[in-house]
Structure 1
């Protein structure tokens, strides 16, 4: 069932990416989506459900769903607890922003 849901989400995302307005809005929220994607990927690679992660962190499934939604920025401590729960290591890095203009 999870694999089917994952495929449906991927298909929907691929379709949405064809809409220029969606692409602009998505790019404006790139950091939030990147964090959400990293959280979801860590959980999936650990073969854990949101409920599993919640139990390991001592919180609720709803709290994990909020973390993975990308609508809020969690504390570093929360991210560290999520990493520990999923058997991963938290890494934070700084990057120069991507420019839409050429600098040549």
Structure 2
């Protein structure tokens, strides 16, 4: 069976694939960070939602990358998970 990482490595040799992947990379990184903050805090999506005073479906959308959260929403996640929100711009 082919692993997804192997496929990604193969496809990354294609400039069009690489460009498309690079465009959505920040969305994946944000989604990964949200899941990581929640799981490190030991919460289910429903538990995090309750602490944020929202619904589990909102947390699921945040974690899927299908939603562009405001800074305020990200601050609510940080407060609920006991983490610090840090936004940065790194040189390319």
Q: TM-score, normalised to structure 1's length? A: 0.72
Deviation string 1:46-70 (CA, Å, 9 cap, x unpaired) is: 1111001000000000000011111
- Match of residue 17 from structure 1: 8
Say whether the 8 Å CA contact 1:17–1:23 is kept in structure 2: no
Structure-2 change in CA distance of 1:73 and 1:20 (3 Å):
same
Deviation string 1:14-67 (CA, Å, 9 cap, x unpaired) is: 355245066654332001011001000101111111001000000000000011
- Match of residue 23 from structure 2: 28
Unaligned runs of 5+ in 1: 1-11, 98-104
Please report the RMSD computed on the Cα atoms of aligned residues, expressed in angstroms: 2.1
- Match of residue 51 from structure 1: 46
Task: Supply the distance in 2 between the matched residues of 1:54 and 1:16 (Cα, whole angstroms).
Answer: 35
Q: TM-score, normalised to structure 2's length? A: 0.80
**Which residues in structure 2 correspond to 1:1-104 (within 5 Å)?**
13-14=4-5, 16-20=7-11, 25-97=20-92
Q: SS of the counterpart of 2:83?
A: coil
Aligned length: 87
Unaligned runs of 5+ in 2: none
